[in-house]
């Protein structure tokens, strides 16, 4: 669950509010971005994906401009995630592990929702549907439909008073629902106590893994890796380093966006051949995989493992991964 895109939404809201009509669907998306980034909220929601339902609680507080947030599973796994300012702590009882890493985002754990900006309308049809009621509230219904085969669509039910999402759906090109979030309870208090944001997970005896900030000191070849041919509308928004799982060597992390959907690309530093792996490591991953509502595609490019993942159609991640090249060596 992964998001500074909310900050962009906040900026766009202030710049665009006067230019958009009161019933404009794009304005409602900007209001949602603004609400997610700036409001206090405490809610319980159902996450439906591939026939599975998980009940989650989210607590989000903005105080003196700083975000503190807690997300926990209510279905027995005990998984809990707490972000305080610039640090994210993941309690994973099923893995007997507590993972601590720098927080790279100031938004919300709900930031996987589409982050609308002005360029998005070129590749999506955005329209308002008739209002309805959810949780006793009047909800604005926004439909976002892709204009081509490189992206998914969304349906959003937004609280008319606050702009907060009460229900969301991720849909394929045929309108089939791939993933759904449905709030059973959503409160927006003026203040939230520290106790509601403190982790309750029992961490005694668990293995602690701390990943510090990584300096960008990779080789010039890895530094220059980029996707050369992108699907229409996608462009590079973030380039940095990230440690993946238990790896000891950071990977280049590239994020491509079309204004709503995002694709993360990881280029690992260890050199491999197409059918071999470094000593004491598993063979490189190859091919397409489904990760919940997202697709991931892995391949080997110029001796580096490349993986592209995002909530987009399979052909989008495959196309981006295949186009990655080290431009310091190929140009």
DSSP assignment of 129-154 equals EEEEEETTEEEEEEEEEESSTTS-EE
* Residue 3 burial (10 A CB sphere; 0-12, 13-18, 19+): buried
* 158 and 226 part of one domain: no
Give the structural domain span for 307.
214-330
Q: What is the pLDDT of residue 213?
A: 54
Are 25 and 164 members of one domain? Answer: yes
- Please provide the average confidence, as pLDDT, over all residues in the chain: 81
**Number of domains within the chain:** 2
Greater confidence, 204 or 308? 308
Mean pLDDT to the nearest integer, 269-286: 57
Range from 82-86, 131-135, 180-184, 231-235 carrying the lowest mean pLDDT: 82-86
Query: Are 220 and 237 part of one and the same domain?
Result: yes
Tell me, what's the pLDDT at 16? 40
**59 pLDDT above the threshold of 60:** yes
pLDDT tens digits, one per residue of 213-249: 544 444 444 457 899 889 999 999 888 777 665 555 7
pLDDT of 9 reads 39
If asked whether residues 14 and 40 sit together in one domain, one would say yes
Name the band, by pLDDT with cuts 50, 70 and 90, for residue 278: very low
Is residue 61 a contact partner of residue 69, using CB atoms and an 8 Å limit?
yes
Reduced to 3 states (helix: H, G, I; strand: E, B; else coil), residue 35 is helix
- The token pair that represents 148 in the structure block: 């081509």
- The verdict on 160 and 58 lying in the same domain is yes
Higher pLDDT, 246 or 318: 318
Task: Give kind and range of the element (H or E) at residue 179.
Answer: strand 177-187
Phi, psi of 21 (to 5 degrees): -70, 165
Say whether 225 sits in a helix, a strand or coil: strand
> Over the stretch 172-185, which tens digit does the pLDDT of each residue have?
988 899 999 999 99
Q: Could you tell me the pLDDT band of residue 197, with boundaries at 50, 70 and 90?
A: very high
Alpha-carbon dihedral sign for residues 114, 115, 120, 126: positive
- Taking the alpha carbons of 95, 292, 236, 85 in that order, is the dihedral positive or negative? negative
**Residues 137 and 89 occupy one common structural domain:** yes
User: What is the spatial distance between Cα 101 and Cα 86, in angstroms, rounded to a whole number?
Assistant: 9
Give the count of beta carbons closer than 10 Å to the beta carbon of residue 115.
27
CATH number at residue 234: 3.30.200.100
Instruction: Check: CB of residue 328 under 8 Å from CB of residue 232.
Output: no
User: In the chain, what is the straight-line distance between the N-terminal and C-terminal CA atoms, in Å?
Assistant: 36
DSSP secondary structure of 108-129? -TTTTS----GGGGGTEEEEEE
Question: Confidence band (pLDDT; 50, 70, 90) for 106?
Answer: low
Strand order in the sheet with 124-134: 124-134, 137-146, 153-159, 165-171, 177-187, 41-49, 52-63, 66-73, 80-84, 87-92, 97-102, 207-210
Q: Which of 185, 207, 229 is the last residue of a domain?
A: 207
Same structural domain, 156 and 242: no
Pairing between β-strand 324-326 and β-strand 225-227 as defined by DSSP bridges = antiparallel
Residue 236 CB neighbour total at 10 angstroms: 13
Q: Which of 246, 308, 317, 314 is nearest to 282 (CA)?
A: 246
The answer to whether residues 100 and 166 belong to one domain is yes
Residue at a domain's end among 207, 222, 241:
207
> Same structural domain for residues 185 and 219?
no
- How many whole angstroms separate alpha carbon 168 and alpha carbon 176? 13
The CATH number that applies at residue 114 is: 2.50.20.10
Residues 171 and 39 in one domain: yes
Task: Mark whether 256 and 116 lie in a shared domain.
Answer: no
Tokens 């309308």, residue located: 121
The alpha carbons of the chain give a radius of gyration, in whole angstroms, of 20
The predicted pLDDT at position 218 comes to 44
Q: How confident is the model at residue 111 (pLDDT cuts 50, 70, 90)?
A: low
Which of 157, 192, 207 is at the close of a domain?
A: 207
pLDDT, tens digit, 9 for 90 and up, residues 24-40:
888 999 899 899 989 99
- Residue 5 — pLDDT band, cuts 50, 70, 90? very low
Tell me, yes or no, whether 168 and 238 share the same domain: no
């Amino acid at each position: 669950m992964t998001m500074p895109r909310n900050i962009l939404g906040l900026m766009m809201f202030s710049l665009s509010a006067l230019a958009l009509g009161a019933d404009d669907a794009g304005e409602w998306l900007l209001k949602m971005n603004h609400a997610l980034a700036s409001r206090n909220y405490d809610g319980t929601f159902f996450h439906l994906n591939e026939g599975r339902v998980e009940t989650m609680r989210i607590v989000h507080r903005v105080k003196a401009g700083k975000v503190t947030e807690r997300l926990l599973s209510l279905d027995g796994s005990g998984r809990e995630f707490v972000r305080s300012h610039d640090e994210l702590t993941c309690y994973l009882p099923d893995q007997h592990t507590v993972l601590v890493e720098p927080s790279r985002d100031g938004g919300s754990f709900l930031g996987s929702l589409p982050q609308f900006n002005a360029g998005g309308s070129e590749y999506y049809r955005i329209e308002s549907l008739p209002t309805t009621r959810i949780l006793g509230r009047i909800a604005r219904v926004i439909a976002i439909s892709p204009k081509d085969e490189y992206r998914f669509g969304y349906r959003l039910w937004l609280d008319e008073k606050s702009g907060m999402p009460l229900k969301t759906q991720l849909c394929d090109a045929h309108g089939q629902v791939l993933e759904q979030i449905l709030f059973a309870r959503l409160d927006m208090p003026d203040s939230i106590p520290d106790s509601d944001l403190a982790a309750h997970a029992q961490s005694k005896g668990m293995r602690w893994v701390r990943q510090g900030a990584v300096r960008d000191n990779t080789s010039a070849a890895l530094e220059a890796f980029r996707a050369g041919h992108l699907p229409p509308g996608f462009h590079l928004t973030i380039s940095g380093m990230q440690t993946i799982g238990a790896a000891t060597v950071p990977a280049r992390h590239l994020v491509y966006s079309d204004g709503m959907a995002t694709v993360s690309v990881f280029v690992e530093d260890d050199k491999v051949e197409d059918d071999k792996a470094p000593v004491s490591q598993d063979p490189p991953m190859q091919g397409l995989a489904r990760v919940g509502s997202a697709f991931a595609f892995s391949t080997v490019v110029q001796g580096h493992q490349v993986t592209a993942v995002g909530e987009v159609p399979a052909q989008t991640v495959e196309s981006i991964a295949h186009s990655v090249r080290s431009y310091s060596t190929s140009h």
